[in-house]
Chain A
Amino acid sequence: MAERILEVDDVTLRFGGLTALDSVSLHIEEGEILGLIGPNGAGKTTCFNVITGVYTPTMGEVRFRGSSLVGLKKHQITRKGIARTFQNIRLFRSMTALENVLVGADANHSSGVLTALFRSPKHRREEADGHERGMDLLEFMGLAGRADELASNLSYGDQRRLEIARAMATQPALLCLDEPAAGFNPQEKAELMALIRRVRDRGYTVLLIEHDMRLVMGVTDRIVVLEFGKKIAEGTPADIRDNPAVIAAYLGVDEDAS
């Protein structure tokens, strides 16, 4: 059995009176693509926010490779090996595509003012490493030709891909993608899903939020379904497809609504 890389253990999160996550437990195994689905407002993004340290759970635990993440700062969690993208694109808009990725790569670096001032060997090694990794990732995402463009000048699709490249640059073990294909046409969505499979083949574990049921079925190994902050189902795509609770949750809900 594969090792559990992340465990969300009985997590509850309340915003005032609203219970956004209600005793949610889920785990992700090393090397898999886990789909997280559910209707609008189900708590998927909130789940990401708890994992990445944006919110502290009201109750419960999040463990990464066995050690608790609760109480750690956001940047510490990233440096432990969890990276994410955002449902609403949040690039560093007036920086170039390459610079965006370099910021991600810097998560593994430690040079500071003094090493930069004296161009120390460490600084030069880290800069070279960042550029190499950055260009490699841009290439992988099909963005190499846009490296020197401002992020805000990229097309919508390129911005979405740049977000993934930036997150990958932090060298995470676990990559969390929040609706990376939102706003894409079916053709683009299919391409992105193929890309996500290749991301996994590069050795990343992927947690994927996606609205489009059919798409999720095709790309994920396992699926967790949330509704109103509760986990209502968990299993292989085939299990989920036939699960009456899931069908009920999605009934009358347009799959493509976002």
Chain B
Amino acid sequence: MTAPLTARDRLALQWVGMVERWNSLPRASRLLIVLLLALLFYALPLLRPPILTTQQTDFGGIMFSSAALALVAVGLNIVIGYAGLLDLGYIGFYLVGAYTTGVLTSEHWHWPFFLVLPVAIAVTMLSGVLLGAPTLRVRGDYLAIVTLGFGEIIRLIVTNVEWLGAARGIKDIPHPPTIGPDPKPPFGEGGLFTIPHLSWNGLIPSLDENRGTRFLVFGAADAIPYYWLILTVLILVLVADKLVKNSRVGRAWEATREDEDAAELMGVPTFRFKLLAFAMGAAVGGLSGALFASSQGGYINPLSFPLLLSILFVAAVIVGGAGNRWGAVLGGVLVAYLPERFREFADFRLLVFGLALMILPVYRPQGLLPPARTIRARVAEREIELLEGGEDTGPTDDGLDGPEGPDGFGRTNSTGKVG
């Protein structure tokens, strides 16, 4: 009579088991595995593994945009996933970071790239604080509307302000500096040495003589150095994210998301922490924008920042599983990679992608990779259900959900009354 665990339960159990086994490994082995994995990810665009590699578009470029969107999603996850603030205008911060870079390195000044990066981050953080200070005092859906407006207004501003390049945009944004001699087209390749790519004949790899990446030239010819740069940034941001999340700050964010009044009454200055989440999210958004501005094309214009992209950012976080940084990474990668991988299906790919975005929340409202403790709790709950079900009338699938109903993310108590 007792139904066995469903396939999904078993998968969840396995995942929890894996996480636990991982946590019980000695620190040194964990570090080693992480290093090897990181190395694999750095090498991915050189290895060009079959199936994964996109044939019709530059694989290095796709890897770059996947990592870039993962970075954006990790930043937005701080705002949406941790602090529970629905920010629909994140593109605005991305734009501020990109335009700060454009103005300072090309349009009006000629600052070096690595000096501009921290300035772009600071300017974007400031814009986050300026937007958040008046709006974060108000609760709920209002914020979504205001941020949506922000994303659109900031785009309209750059479209109309001549000083910011208006509709023509900003071009000739310099690439990050080359390591080794500068490239001197058409003959001097620049950089220190060439790293060859692999090519595959079925499952047999061989070195590809025609393709290689110069170490380390940032230029229009090859996106792989950019991928390495953004992957490095992504790793650093992930480490910082983990450190902050596992601290008073991360707990305050989550408490505020769960129940703002209760958090406040437990001594959390919720407004200050919401503002902080906004500023941190904005900082990562600005960083991504700055990297985008100085990437291959070296050209930005207002059309690079449509509101649709902002919605895609949110989709990446939700698809991946709001509240889990690895979920955000996965979501960002999927949202960037899948439409490119299936380019041969032309416009159908977007249709299918849109459908997937609609279906997923129905079957998996918590996203693909929700926070581990949520999975663990769900498995535990399910086991208890089955035990109870086995003893009396037999299990019902949804009926024994307990008094609380399904738990997704979002606030549990939104009434103003405290009692």
Complex CA–CA separation, A74 to B268 (angstroms): 9
Chain A residues lying within 8 Å of B394, measured Cβ to Cβ, are none
B262 touches A75 (CB 8 A): no
Q: Which of A23-31, A90-98, A231-239 contacts B (4 or more CB under 8 A)?
A: A90-98
* A119–B251 CA distance with the chains assembled, in angstroms: 16
B27 at the interface (CB under 8 A from A): no
Q: In the bound complex, do residue B381 and residue A112 qualify as a contact, i.e. CB atoms below 8 Å apart?
A: no
Instruction: Kindly state whether residue B184 has any CB partner on chain A within 8 Å.
Output: no
Of A59-67, A77-85, A186-194, the segment with at least 4 beta carbons within 8 Å of chain B is A77-85
Check A103 for interface membership: any CB of B closer than 8 A: yes
Q: Which residue of chain A has the shortest Cβ distance to B270 in the bound complex?
A: A75
A127 and B270 CA atoms in complex are apart in Å by 20
Q: A40 in the interface, Cβ–Cβ < 8 Å?
A: no
Contact with B along A54-74 (1 / 0, CB 8 A): 100000000000000000011
Within 8 A of A (CB), among B239-273: 240, 243-244, 246-249, 251-252, 254-255, 258-259, 261-270
Q: Is A228 among interface residues, defined by CB-CB distance under 8 A?
A: no
Does A107 sit at the interface, judged by CB under 8 A? yes
When each residue 171-197 of chain B gets 1 if its CB lies under 8 Å from chain A and 0 otherwise, what string results? 000000000000000000000000000
Asked if B259 contacts A92 (CB within 8 A), the reply is yes
Q: Is A222 part of the binding interface, using a Cβ–Cβ cutoff of 8 Å?
A: no
Q: Which residues of B contact A126 (CB under 8 A)?
A: 248
Q: List the A side residues contacting B399 at CB < 8 Å.
A: none
**Chain A residue at minimum C-beta to C-beta distance from B366:** A94
Chain B residue nearest in CB terms to A103: B255
Contacts of B419 in A (CB 8 A): 45, 49, 86-88, 178
A94 touches B407 (CB 8 A): yes
Do A149 and B377 touch (CB < 8 A)?
A: yes
Q: Which residues of A contact B359 (CB under 8 A)?
A: none
Q: Which residues of A sit under 8 angstroms from B261, Cβ to Cβ?
A: 54, 74, 90
Out of A45, A87, A92, A94, name the residue touching B263 (CB < 8 Å): A92
A127 to B245 Cα, complex, angstroms: 13
Residue B398 at the A interface, CB < 8 A?
Answer: no
Residue from B243, B259, B265, B409 within 8 A of A54 (CB atoms): B265
Contact yes or no, B258 A109, CB < 8 A: no
Whether the pair B259, A90 counts as a contact (CB closer than 8 A) is yes
- Interface membership of B412, Cβ < 8 A: yes
B418 at the interface (CB under 8 A from A): yes
CA distance A94 to B409 in the complex (A): 8
A92 adjacent to B248 (CB under 8 Å): no
Chain A residues within 8 Å of B240, by CB: 117
In contact, B255 and A90 (Cβ under 8 angstroms): no
Known: A45-B419, A88-B419, A150-B377. A78 touches B248 (CB 8 A): no
Q: Is B374 an interface residue (CB 8 A)?
A: yes
Contact B248 A112 (CB under 8 A): yes
Q: How far does the Cβ of B337 sit from chain A's closest Cβ, in whole Å?
A: 29
Given contacts A54-B418, A127-B247, contact A92 B267 (CB under 8 A): no
**CA distance in complex: A94, B378 (Å):** 11
A142 CB to closest chain B CB (Å) equals: 19
Contact B244 A95 (CB under 8 A): no
Distance between Cα atoms of A21 and B267 in the complex (Å): 25
CA distance A127 to B142 in the complex (A): 35
Given A88-B419, A112-B248, also A79-B243 (CB < 8 A): no
Known interface pairs A94-B374, A150-B377; A84-B265 also in contact (CB < 8 Å): yes
Choice from A79, A115, A119, A130 contacting B267 with Cβ under 8 Å: A79
Within 8 Å of chain B (Cβ to Cβ): is A19?
Answer: no
Q: Which residues of B contact A52 (CB under 8 A)?
A: 265
- Contact, CB under 8 Å: A90 / B413: yes
**Which residues of A in the span 115-163 have a Cβ within 8 Å of any Cβ on B?**
115-117, 119, 123, 126-127, 130, 148-150, 152-153
Q: For B258, give the chain A residue with the smallest CB separation.
A: A92
Determine the chain B residues whose CB is within 8 A of the CB of A149 once the complex forms. 377, 380
A170 near B267 (CB under 8 angstroms)? yes
Q: Please, what's the 1-or-0 string for B269-296, where 1 marks a CB less than 8 Å from any CB in chain A? A: 1100000100010000000000000000
B263 contacts across to A, CB distance below 8 A: 92, 103
Q: Indicate whether A116 sits within 8 Å of B249 (C-beta atoms), given known contacts A45-B419, A79-B267, A103-B263.
A: yes
A258 to B: closest C-beta gap in Å: 12
Question: B266 contacts A103, CB within 8 Å?
Answer: yes
Contact indicator per residue, chain B 41-61, by CB within 8 Å of chain A (1) or not (0): 000000000000000000000
Instruction: Say how far B163's CB is from chain A's closest CB, in angstroms.
Output: 33
Q: Which residues of A contact B252 (CB under 8 A)?
A: 103, 106
Which residue on chain B has the smallest CB distance to residue A127?
A: B247
Contact A78:B266 (CB < 8 A) given known A92-B254, A95-B254, A126-B248: yes
By the criterion CB–CB under 8 Å, are A96 and B268 in contact? no
Question: Is the pair A116, B380 in contact by a Cβ cutoff of 8 Å?
Answer: no
Interface residues of B (CB under 8 A from A): 240, 243-244, 246-249, 251-252, 254-255, 258-259, 261-270, 276, 280, 371, 373-374, 377, 380-381, 404, 407, 409, 412-413, 418-419
Q: List 23 A-B contacts (CB under 8 A).
A: A74-B261, A75-B265, A78-B264, A83-B265, A84-B265, A86-B419, A90-B262, A90-B413, A91-B259, A92-B258, A92-B262, A93-B259, A94-B374, A103-B251, A106-B248, A106-B268, A112-B248, A116-B249, A127-B247, A150-B373, A152-B377, A152-B404, A153-B377
With contacts A84-B265, A103-B251, A153-B380 known, what are 8 further pairs, Cβ within 8 A? A73-B269, A86-B418, A111-B248, A115-B247, A119-B243, A149-B377, A150-B374, A178-B419
Question: 4 shortest A-B CB distances, which residue pairs?
Answer: A107-B267, A116-B247, A78-B267, A92-B258
